[in-house]
């Protein structure tokens, strides 16, 4: 179930990274967002949590460290490639989760 959250709530509980809406679609498509935010103009973003990290994707009101577009493109392509393999669901999900943690490490290292 997705819970409504504020920027401050996410920022205080997680190390937060963000990118634009659907930029990481192929990497995150097997995971459910745990948080969302909305304002007077409607939906703003979704938050996907992985351990102590939260990846925020959306249009407005984003918080955290911006993920470099080159990294977004690189890991999204790897996620798309993993989806095209003839692997079991659990293997693809585990592979994508490992990619997500690699993306987080690369983003925070810079």
Q: How far is CA 37 from the centre of its chain?
A: 14
In whole angstroms, give the CA distance from residue 11 to residue 81.
32
Q: Tens of pLDDT along the chain (110 residues)?
A: 899 999 999 999 999 999 999 999 999 999 999 999 999 999 999 999 999 999 999 999 999 999 999 999 999 999 999 999 899 999 999 999 999 999 999 999 96
Which domain covers residue 54, as residue numbers?
3-109
Number of domains in the chain: 1
pTM given for the model: 0.93
In whole angstroms, give the CA distance from residue 16 to residue 62.
10
Taken in order 15, 21, 27, 28, is the CA torsion positive or negative?
A: positive
Are the CB atoms for 3 and 13 separated by under 8 Å?
Answer: no
């Amino acid at each position: 179930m997705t819970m409504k959250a504020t920027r401050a709530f996410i920022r205080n509980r997680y190390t937060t990274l963000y990118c634009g809406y659907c930029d990481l679609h192929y990497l995150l498509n097997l995971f459910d967002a745990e948080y969302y935010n909305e304002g007077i103009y409607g939906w703003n973003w979704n938050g996907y949590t992985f351990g102590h990290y939260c990846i925020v994707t959306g249009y407005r009101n984003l918080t955290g460290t911006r993920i470099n577009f080159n990294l977004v493109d690189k890991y999204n392509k790897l996620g798309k490639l993993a989806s095209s393999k003839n692997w079991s669901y659990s293997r693809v999900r585990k592979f994508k989760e490992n990619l997500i943690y690699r993306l987080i490490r690369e983003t925070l290292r810079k």
